[in-house]
Chain A
Amino acid sequence: MSQENENLQRALRALAAETAAASAPDRVQRALSAELRARARRRRLATWWPATAAAALLLGIWLGRPHPAGPPAEAPSVAAIEFAPAAAAAPAVQSAPKARLVTAATPANRGAVTPWFFYAGVPPVERGQVVRIRVSAATAAQFGVYGGAGDVPAQVFIGDDGVARAIRFVR
């Protein structure tokens, strides 16, 4: 190797040694770890929130239902509504479809799905999603749906704000 190449190699080695221990500041790792935690949280939430929302909806609807022995003067906070088409697979609901009110006590056995049971205690939304869940037979029976001993398939309408608004049962 020529003298100038040797000197160059020596200078390059010295340059490498100067930065050999360089590393990113700790704040970079902290920020990245925080992002990882946030993503894990979001993923957990994405897994559980439909089920949680559905449970909350069921509870809300059940608590709001007029009890047969209760005072008749109080207006029920839950209404069962029939949607025109059964859009179970629709990923997003653009707006509330034209619906006609029926009473909660109306037998819902005319099609593959029951009417929607809306929870009236939340503000309306323009958009949302229909999520498929399964509820226990006992819970479904409280809505007048008797599907045997196993779980009953149901669909929950969840608004874009993450709040469940309605449920219907698949027969």
Chain B
Amino acid sequence: MLSDTSRLSDAALLRRVHAGEESAFDLLYRRHQGRIYRYALRMSGSPEAAEDVVQEVFLAVIRGARGFDAAHGALASYLYGMARNLLFRQGGAPPADELEEGLAVIDADPLEGLHQAEQVERVRQALAGLPAHYREAVVLCDLEELSYAEVAEMLGVAVGTVRSRLHRARALLLDRLSGQRPEKERCRA
């Protein structure tokens, strides 16, 4: 029975969930919870916040996934969208002027000479400090490895916008990473 159910599309599973079928819900949950949890974790940096987001998103699924239309997009995009709204509600929507942050010219690699663990930690900190729209572009494209088209659909923007946000986000990351390093280190690099 599980193998039969496992072949069902998200939309079909969703219909079964609405009819109260627990096995359909389990499958739908297993299919999507990991991605939603990781997205929320990487965006918020908090396992507790990520757990809350997963719970709220799937509660909405149980309650009917109002607004979801399989003809207009994938369930995954719908779930990401819900998680995104919840995260922005928790952390406050990013003001528009955050998108216009200026960039300094980087003349040296801020990660050069650091061990990987140090690099990762610095990138994590720099990512957490990025404006939400840019952080989101990095999380979805670089960490979640979604395609530009998927991210564009999820965010409701053009593919070109995703590309430019990601480009700017990476530049901002490098800028911030370079700002994190002590002057002496930067000179040495």
Mark out the residues of chain B between 18 and 64 whose CB falls within 8 Å of any chain A CB in the assembled complex: 20, 22, 25-26, 29, 33-34, 37-38, 41-42, 47, 50-51, 54-55, 58-59, 62-63
* CB of A22 closer than 8 Å to a CB of B: yes
Q: What does DSSP make chain B's interface, helix, strand, loop or mixed?
A: helix
* CB of B131 closer than 8 Å to a CB of A: no
Listed stretches B7-15, B72-80, B86-94, B112-120; interface member: B112-120
The total of chain A residues at the interface (CB under 8 A) is 32
Q: Which residues of B contact A31 (CB under 8 A)?
A: 55
Q: What does DSSP make chain A's interface, helix, strand, loop or mixed?
A: helix
Q: A4-B174, A12-B142 are in contact. Are A22 and B34 (CB under 8 A)?
A: yes
Other-chain contact of B111, A7, A18, A28, A40 (Cβ < 8 Å): A7
Q: Please name the residue on chain A nearest to B54 by beta carbon.
A: A24
> Interface size for chain B: under 10, 10 to 19, 20 to 34, or 35 or more residues?
35 or more
* CB of B109 closer than 8 Å to a CB of A: yes
> Roughly how many angstroms separate A37 CA and B19 CA in the complex, as a whole number?
11
* CB of A52 closer than 8 Å to a CB of B: no
Q: Which residues of A contact B151 (CB under 8 A)?
A: none
> Roughly how many angstroms separate A59 CA and B120 CA in the complex, as a whole number?
73
* CB of A35 closer than 8 Å to a CB of B: yes
Q: Which residues of A contact B145 (CB under 8 A)?
A: 16
Residues of B within 8 A of A (CB): 17, 20, 22, 25-26, 29, 33-34, 37-38, 41-42, 47, 50-51, 54-55, 58-59, 62-63, 106, 108-112, 116, 119-120, 122-124, 127, 138, 142-145, 170, 173-174, 177
